[in-house]
Amino acid sequence: MPRAGVEVIFAYPSKLEYIVKCYNGFPHFVLTENENGTNYLKAGTGYIPAIEKELYSNYEANLMRYEFTLSYNRFITSLRVYSWASACKNLYANTFQLERNEESAISSLIKKLNIPERTVEDQIRFIENWVKSEISIAEEGEFDERLNEVIRTKQTSKYGAIRLMVAMMDAAGIDFELVITGDNEDQPFDPDFNGFNYLKNQLLYFPAINKYLVPDDLEYRLGLIPENYQGSFALFAREVSYDQNLKTLSYDIRQISIESPVLNTDSIIQEVWIDPDLNLLKTRSHRVFSGKNAATFQSFWHLVNNDKKDEIVQSVFNMGEQNTVIDSYKVRNDSPENIAVNPLVWDLEITANSLVETAGSDILVKIGETIGTQSELYQANTRKLPIDVGLLRNYYRKIQFKIPPGYKVTNASDLNMDVRMMNNDKISCIFNSKVESADGLLIITVIEYYNEPRYPVERYEDFRKVINAAADFNKKTLLLSKI
């Protein structure tokens, strides 16, 4: 919604001092000091135009806004009030410090679990899997957050899960850093704004293996983190001890790494053939999901019944106008322990009832739809927001189409496509498909990947062409003519 006559005024005693920072074009604040001991910070504008939501963008993060924090309160001290240092002090007290009963409970638990003495990564995964399989982590609700009670009742909030994970890693002697960041979708962490505003989400980082862990979300395991944290700046804090009674957190500001698209893959190898008499298309499909693509299923698959599983499979692997029959399917590595360890593997036999048509003596095969529905990016208005790709992904498809006896494919070259976006002489994103024939087969190989998470609005057209190339392939039809 547009806004008119916007004015913001902060009025406060002169012994207080605030830091205010404006984003996305919101006008800067002007300080006025009055003799009566009251200061004023004022900013305003006559009109703020509306911004429409656009695909592949972080809408909330691009709205005009301002952030503020109290920096000094000279009524009580001349030292900085809210800062990274004070944030670390609070984090240590709230997250690391334990009561005597908590320390005893954690020590007993670690001994009882008998963590295997293998690699550091094995030990981390063992602890994480125990917490996320044995402790119920709720989004909301009132819980006794003392760790002895969390262990006893086996339920807690997200805050309690973070405390438990930190305490267990600490007790197991595993070196880690607590990472605190914002959210790229609405309030990205600003390394130049020294306040608490962005300290919303917590991760654990393990320097020895260069991997992150989300302690309070069941959908993730070591090595996977949400895309809205990736690439953002964050506060990296680690425990330091000056003596037995003086402990705190030291910190620095760094960027969270961005997962390679190779980590999040979706690969299909499928045999395709048709029954010309019944106008049916059959496929034998081997599909492999890795990374977040797999974790989406691995996190909950064991919790749903067979009818629900069938419904999900029907939706995910549908080909063409919701007129597909899943004749059979098998799935492997579908438990939470496989997240970020083993890929999710599907083997399916599928019948598509709407992908084959006849036109006189010719046969039309909607071969593009065998890879499933693809995203399209069409926009009538001029693009306003920068592009945010989200999770970097990698796609691979190999389709082996068996040409029916007595027919030839007359338009195979139509499936040769190459649409790419370059950045500094390197491929930033690409859609490429190529066709070859061998032994009565038409072999179609498709690669598609996205290597960079963000682009300025000026690159929108280049990016859009790659996205739409996949949708254009989806519309491709083979023409089979009698020999």
What pLDDT digit, counting tens, does each position of 188-243 carry? 999 999 888 889 999 999 999 999 999 999 999 999 999 999 999 999 999 988 76
Q: How many residues does the chain have?
A: 483
Q: Please state, in angstroms and as integers, the Cα–Cα distance from residue 462 to each residue in 225, 261, 387, 396, following that order.
A: 28, 19, 11, 21
Cα–Cα distances (Å) from 385 to 136, 437, 454, in that order, read 39, 44, 11
Mean pLDDT of 424-452: 95
Structure confidence at residue 383 (pLDDT): 93
Q: What is the pLDDT of residue 116?
A: 87
E strands present in 92-173: 136-138, 155-157
Average pLDDT of the residues in 108-131: 94
The band of 157, judged by pLDDT with boundaries at 50, 70 and 90, is very high
Residue 279 pLDDT > 70: yes
Q: Are strands 356-359 and 344-352 parallel, antiparallel or unpaired?
A: unpaired
**261-482 belongs to CATH 2.60.120.1130:** yes
Of residues 160, 131, 130, the one with CA closest to residue 143: 160
From CA 146, how far away is CA 135, in angstroms rounded? 14
Q: Using alpha carbons, list the distances in angstroms from residue 409 to 364, 440, 470.
A: 10, 10, 22
CA distance 372 to 374: 6
108 CB-near residues (< 8 Å, 6+ apart): none
Distance between terminal CA atoms of the chain? Answer: 62
Confidence of residue 244 (pLDDT cuts 50, 70, 90): low
Widest CA span of the chain, in angstroms? Answer: 97
Task: Please list the residues that pair with 11 across neighbouring strands.
Answer: 40
Mean pLDDT of 439-467: 95
pLDDT at position 321, please?
Answer: 64
User: pLDDT-derived band of residue 63, with 50, 70 and 90 as boundaries?
Assistant: very high
| The predicted structure's pLDDT at residue 246 | 67
Q: 406 pLDDT band (50/70/90 cuts)?
A: very high
Nearest one of 319, 344, 318 to 331, comparing CA atoms: 344
CB 291 within 8 A of CB 224: yes
- Each domain of the chain, given as residue ranges in start order, spans 3-73, 84-255, 261-482
Q: Which helix (H) or strand (E) holds 42?
A: strand 38-48
Kindly give the pairing relationship between strand 155-157 and strand 136-138.
parallel
CA atoms of 139 and 135, how far apart (whole Å): 13
Give the burial class of 30: count Cβ atoms within 10 A of its Cβ; 0-12 exposed, 13-18 middle, 19 or more buried: exposed
Tokens of 401: 């189409």
**Structure-token pair, residue 273:** 């053939």
The answer to whether the beta carbons of residues 63 and 26 sit under 8 Å apart is no
Please report which confidence band the pLDDT of residue 312 belongs to, taking 50, 70 and 90 as the band edges: very high
Check residue 198 and give its pLDDT.
87
Q: What is the mean pLDDT of the chain?
A: 93
Instruction: Please state, in angstroms and rounded to a whole number, the distance separating the CA atoms of residues 130 and 93.
Output: 25
Instruction: Tell me the pLDDT band of 322, cut-offs 50, 70 and 90.
Output: low
pLDDT at 245: 63
- Mean pLDDT to the nearest integer, 323-335: 94
Residue of 42, 32, 39 whose CA lies nearest to 14: 39
Helix (H, G, I), strand (E, B) or coil at 25: coil
What DSSP string runs through 366-392? -GGGGG--------SSPP-SPEE--S-
Q: Cβ(70)–Cβ(31) under 8 Å?
A: no
Q: Which of 76-80, 91-95, 307-311, 461-465 has the lowest mean pLDDT?
A: 76-80
Non-local (6+) Cβ contacts of 398 within 8 A are 268, 269, 270, 443, 444, 445, 446
Q: What is the pLDDT of residues 29-42, one digit of tens each?
A: 999 988 788 999 99
- Cα(194)–Cα(190) distance, rounded to whole angstroms? 8
Distance of CA 453 to the CA centre of its chain: 11
Q: How far apart are CA 136 and CA 154, in angstroms?
A: 6
Tell whether domain 84-255 is in CATH 2.60.40.10: no
- Reported as half-sphere exposure (CB side, CA atoms, 13 A), residue 429 has a value of 26
Per residue in 366-401, pLDDT (tens digit) is: 999 998 888 888 877 899 999 999 999 999 999 999
Tell me what pLDDT residue 35 has: 78
Do the bridges between strand 394-402 and strand 265-275 make them parallel or antiparallel, or are there none, so unpaired?
parallel
CB 67 within 8 A of CB 20: yes
Q: What is the DSSP string of 253-299?
A: EEEPP---GGGSEEEEEEEEEEETTTTEEEEEEEEEE-THHHHHHHT
Q: How far apart are CA 256 and CA 453, in angstroms?
A: 13
Per residue in 64-76, pLDDT tens? 999 999 999 999 9
Distance from C-alpha of 138 to C-alpha of 332, rounded to nearest angstrom: 28
What pLDDT does residue 118 have?
Answer: 87
CA angle, 339 then 342 then 348, to 5°? 105
What is the Cα–Cα distance from 331 to 346, expressed in whole angstroms?
Answer: 5
Residue 7 contacts residue 44 (beta carbons within 8 Å): yes
229 closest CA partner among 256, 205, 249, 247: 256
What is the tens place of the pLDDT at every residue in 75-103?
998 888 888 999 999 999 999 999 999 99
Q: How far apart are CA 448 and CA 420, in angstroms?
A: 9
